[in-house]
Structure 1
Amino acid sequence: MLAPDDCASLTDIRQAIDGLDREVLTILGKRMQYVLAASRFKSDAKSIPAPERVASMLVDRRRWAEENGLDGDFAESLFQQIISWYIARQVDYWRAQRGLQ
């Protein structure tokens, strides 16, 4: 993949963005594998949301975003959505694994 300053056309830029988006989605898929694996360590569905952990995560994600020149509010909002969606999937998975669907 070309560095941004090495791109010679809009096509180069778009190909690089498409490649990065694919990487992001691959990573989100790997993240899901860990989220589902974590359900093995949860004693009940009520323990899955872990609000203290989520609050701590959001602080870190905001800081990491700002360290990379991104807007902290945007990153926090984005991760709130990501985390909420993953929690819902983990609850569904937890219940399915125990025949509670």
Structure 2
Amino acid sequence: MGFKDPGECNSLEEIRNEIDKIDEHIVLLFAERHKYVEAIVRFKNDKDAIIAQERKDAVIQQRRKWAEEKGLNADVFEQVYTLLVESNIKHEMELLKIKNSK
């Protein structure tokens, strides 16, 4: 998926179109990531394995660092990934219940 360089855009509409394309690409990547979240439950057998607090903390801090390295607001990305990981944990818990009820 190709994106125009921001400097190549000649109007507000062009910039907004590029932002929309990038956002759609981001959502597609989150959908791809979600497939892995669902698959990981095959390797987890209890609540502690799903929560994996050390891994959770490490993931969030790494994403924070990546954002900072790219000149982005690290606090915002920490919040985004905290929300994402918490949502994943909730979904994994639901999948674990289904897995254990079989």
2:23 maps to what in 1? 21
2:85 maps to what in 1? 83
Equivalent position to 1:39, from 38, 41, 57: 41
4+ residue runs over 2 A deviation:
97-100
How many residues in Structure 1 have an aligned counterpart in Structure 2? 100
Q: Give the gaps of 5 or more residues in structure 2.
A: none
Query: CA–CA distance in 1 between the matches of 2:48 and 2:91?
Result: 13
After TM superposition, the structure 1 = structure 2 runs for residues 48-87 of structure 1, keeping only pairs within 5 Å, are: 48-87=50-89
Equivalent position to 1:6, from 5, 8, 13: 8
Report the 3-state secondary structure (helix = DSSP H, G, I; strand = E; otherwise coil) of the residue aligned with 1:13.
Answer: helix
Q: Report the TM-score, using the length of structure 2 for normalisation.
A: 0.91
Query: CA–CA distance in 2 between the matches of 1:76 and 1:2?
Result: 28
Q: CA RMSD, aligned part only?
A: 1.3
Query: CA–CA distance in 2 between the matches of 1:49 and 1:62?
Result: 19
Q: Give the gaps of 5 or more residues in structure 1.
A: none
The Cα of 1:2 is off from its aligned counterpart by 1.2
The Cα of 1:94 is off from its aligned counterpart by 2.0
Share of identical aligned residues, percent?
32
Q: Report the TM-score, using the length of structure 1 for normalisation.
A: 0.92
